[in-house]
Amino acid sequence: MVRFSVGDVTITRIEEMNGPGMKPEEIFRHFDPAMLDACPDALTPDLYHAKSGRLFSSIHSWLIEIGGQKVLVDTASGNDKDRPGLFSRFDHLNLPWLENLKSAGVEPEDIDIVFCTHLHVDHVGWNTKLEDGKWVPTFPQAEYVFGRAEYEHWTTGPGAANLPDNKAVIDDSVTPLIGVADVRMLEDGEEVVPGLIAKIAPGHTMQQMVLEHDGANGGFVCSADVFHHPLQVWYPEMSSVFAENPALAARTRFELFSEWASKGHLVLPSHPGAPFAGYIRQQGGKFRYEPATPV
């Protein structure tokens, strides 16, 4: 169990899967193989599988314990979901994510808040579980929190037309919550709970949000899919093939990397391999990624 501590806040990683994923030329636009030689610190054995040439890709949730509340950030991919085509990697999974949550000493009934940074397949799956042939909320006591604009993007906006495979994700992992669970829609800059602020970070999806904590004894940010791999810290201009607006995603990375480096925040991303979190450092106009040490 990987756990980090910032002041009196504890953050625990809840694993769904971790291993070699896509090759850099498959996931990144405008990738140049020379980039691999220029930033060896981004290619440790936990971040890059040299034999296959694939980048390690983790899918996990972050469990934040703050002010007596348990906040679950993103809910991975989920079990039993019908995911053909583009999302076949996630088709009818049977993984022990829920058991991993319980191993952290937390039952589904203990979760106070579920916050989804954005509504992609690998961030909302455990919002619901299959029970008697129906998708029901996995966390019966929790308030489910989404960005209002992100929700509208996928329900009444252009999201589903732009990425048709994600419509089924909304249908089985988001829509079943409406009218059943306690659901709250956020605007940019609003608090999820005291001390945790949701801020828009557009580009990957047009309304993606990150979750930030500025504390007297240190800060952190759950950075969603602002970057998928530390290679993008060295090359923030390089967006993934999954970005809805690649140029905007790159501008967002530059701006947020500068902010996080200035603040010294612990950065908790959604997909890099071990140790799964780190710090953005800036020197001479360049960024680098420094892995963090779990407690």
How does pLDDT run across 144-174, given as a tens digit for each residue? 999 999 999 999 999 999 999 999 999 999 9
Helix (H) or strand (E) holding 153: helix 148-155
pTM above 0.95, yes or no: yes
Class of CATH domain 3-291:
alpha beta
Judge contact between 144 and 151, C-beta under 8 A: no
Helix (H) or strand (E) holding 255: helix 246-263
Residue 41 banded pLDDT, cuts 50, 70, 90? confident
Residue 284 banded pLDDT, cuts 50, 70, 90? confident
Residue 42 banded pLDDT, cuts 50, 70, 90? confident
Residue 38 banded pLDDT, cuts 50, 70, 90? confident
Residue 260 banded pLDDT, cuts 50, 70, 90? very high
- Given the DSSP bridges, would you call strands 9-20 and 3-6 parallel, antiparallel or unpaired? antiparallel
For residues 19-27, give the mean pLDDT: 96
Spell out the domain ranges in the chain. Answer: 3-291
